[in-house]
Structure 1
Amino acid sequence: MRFSERIGQRKTKVDIQIDYIDEGLQNSLWNLILKFIIEPLRKERYWKYSELEYFIESLWFNHFKEPLDEIPSSTIDIKSLLRSRFYSWDYLEIYDLIDFIARTEQQYLPFDKDIYISNCNSILKKELSGYRFVNNQLAPITNEIEINEIEKALSNSLENNYRGVHIHLSEALKKLSDKNNPDYRNSIKESISAVESVCQQITGDKNSELGKTLKKLKQILPIHGALEQGFKKLYGYTSDGDGIRHAMMEEDNLDQEDALYMLISCSSFTNYLISKANKLGIEIIK
């Protein structure tokens, strides 16, 4: 995260790729096409004699919806054509092709489709794509509204003097977004700490843990009981029975989806509490 973003002078951008594909993700997905489609195809000089004869025909007939007699006969020419199209497409067209391969029947593919899908998901996860394969179909794991909620929480917290909230959310995002060494366990810790921080500032009690501050908060703000209970349960998820924070969170059991869910949920809740406190004119400790 840039210095200007950390101090709130520039809006923090949540770099989860929803409506675009950056160069790193595009190149990685093309490498998958090379591995699973192009290399098997180029074992033969002409696609009509290759293991992918049905796939190529189906690709033109069902996906591109173009005349079959316009398919280049040479496998080298097919590779050149696919590469040219792939690097001219927008993100939706690229995902359309990735998804089409996964939906092709196994009997018409010279590779294990489950391995292809697993490889795709590994790349989508590492490159912070907002999509994953679920039941062999590409599906969104987040949306623009949820991403905006995170960005809004980062801005809201600074504009309204909840600096601790901003620091925790920034760290949660940083640990989640690290492509080389993501730290999901501590991202979750920072997200729930942001909620704890906003509760402490509104109640004026900077020493109480989240469970206790939620009780005090309910006396100050008209919070629905279900919301209170929901965050008590989330807090319990990040604590053990003795209230020792995060001791029960085993790293092996946590994934990007867990950390993203917590960041979105905690961002939304902090936005809600800040808005409520502002409407009631509550003086917060800084």
Structure 2
Amino acid sequence: MLFSKRKGLTPVKIEIQKDKIDKELRYGLWNALHLMIWEQYNGGSYISFENTNLFWLFRKYWHCFFKLPIDNMPHNFQSVIERIRKYFFECEWYDVYDFIEFTAQNCPDNLKEEFIEFVNMLLEKELSAYRFVDEQLTDITDEQEIESIETAINSSNKFSGTKIHLKAALSLLTDRKKPDYRNSVKESISAVEALCVVLSDDPKATLGASLNSIEKSHSLHPAFKKALANLYGYTSDSEGIRHALLDEPTISYSDAKYMLVSCSAFINYVIGKMSEK
């Protein structure tokens, strides 16, 4: 995170790739096609192009995806790849996803699973807003979730501890080189705790006690308080779902993102309730 954003001098924007593809992601997706599909081509000196394992995939590209005359398709592997490459690096971002999805749905069955796994790993690493689910690229992040996180960070200036924890959670979640989902979850929950402690005016209060205090002084609906308490499973600072969750061997991007979005929504709700008084 840049200096101006860390210091709160400019609004924080989440750099999740939703309506765009940067060059690193486009290069990565091209490499996924090469490594997982085209390098598995079984053609050679004694096998005609028409009898190779990828010939019908190329035919489907021409007939169903590009919608070009089939007799326009080159009759050798390298020329086909060159034509596809020109399209891939000149087309719009959404056309890239169309091509990746079409490939997953039409490539040989023995290549499909590893290709999808490889692409999903790449999409997560490069902070794409999409993942393969059952051979179809699906949104994993919507505009409302992004707005909720940004609003929570940018509106919590009066609560420095909350803002620091939220920024840390976001930074750990979106670090392309070394994401830390486990500690992102910790920071998200700590952001809620920090807000509750300040509002309850008791630095030693547990989250449960803080919620009781906020419920009385800021008209926090009891059902909402109960839902939050159930979500985190707290009975004290040393027990509950946080510790059970963090004992899990793997915490995914989806887990950490869900916790950050949930905590941001709660923070926005509480700050909004305060402003109504």
The TM-score with structure 2 as length reference comes to 0.91
Distance 2:64 2:81 in 1: 19
Shift of 1:242: 4.4
* Alignment-derived partner of residue 196 in structure 1: 193
Q: Deviations over 1:210-235 (max 9, x none)?
A: 12111111101222333212211232
Which residue number in structure 2 is paired with residue 72 of structure 1?
74
The number of residue pairs the alignment matches comes to: 274
Q: Which residue of 1 aligns with 2:90?
A: 88
Q: State whether residues 156 and 162 of structure 2, in contact with CA within 8 Å, keep that contact through their aligned partners in structure 1.
A: yes
Is the CA contact 1:240–1:247 (under 8 Å) kept in the aligned structure 2? no
Shift of 1:110: 6.8
CA shift, 1:241, in A, is: 8.7
Instruction: Tell me the residue number matched to 1:247.
Output: 243
Kindly indicate whether the alpha-carbon contact (under 8 Å) linking 2:149 and 2:261 is maintained by their aligned counterparts in 1. Answer: yes
- Residue in structure 1 matched with residue 28 of structure 2 by the alignment: 28
Residue 217 of structure 1 pairs with residue 214 of structure 2: yes
Q: Equivalent residue of 1:138, what SS?
A: strand
Q: Deviations over 1:102-159 (max 9, x none)?
A: 212xxx617431111111111111111111111222111111221111111111112x
Residue 18 of structure 1 aligns with which residue? Answer: 18
Shift of 1:180: 2.5
Give the aligned partner of residue 148 of structure 1. 147
Whole-angstrom CA distance in 2 between matches of 1:113 and 1:10: 44
Matching residue of 2:255 = 258
Match of 1:163 in 2: 160
Match in the other structure for 1:59: 61
| Length-normalised TM-score, structure 1 | 0.88
Deviation at 1:243, TM superposition (A): 3.1
**Residue 271 (structure 1) aligned with residue 273 (structure 2):** no
> Which amino acid in 1 is paired with 2:72?
E
Q: Deviations over 1:143-181 (max 9, x none)?
A: 1221111111111112xx111111000000111112232
Residue 268 (structure 1) shift: 1.3
Does the CA-based 8 Å contact 2:169-2:185 persist in structure 1? yes
- The alpha carbon displacement at 1:86 in A equals 0.9
> Are 2:116 and 1:117 equivalent residues in the alignment?
yes
**What is the RMSD of the two structures over their aligned residues, measured on CA atoms?**
2.2
2-structure distance, mates of 1:127, 1:140: 15
Does residue 1:177 correspond to 2:174, yes or no?
A: yes
SS in structure 1 at match of 2:137: strand
Deviations 1:75-110 (A, max 9, x none): 212111111111112221111111112212xxx617
Q: Which runs of 5+ in 2 are unaligned?
A: none
SS in 2 for 1:157: coil
Q: Does 1:2 align with 2:2?
A: yes
Offset at 1:44?
4.6
Once the two structures are TM-superposed, the CA of residue 33 in structure 1 deviates from its matched residue by 1.0
Q: Give the C-alpha shift of residue 41 in structure 1.
A: 4.1
Aligned sequence identity (%): 37
Q: Which runs of 5 or more residues in structure 1 are unaligned?
A: 281-286
1:284 corresponds in structure 2 to none
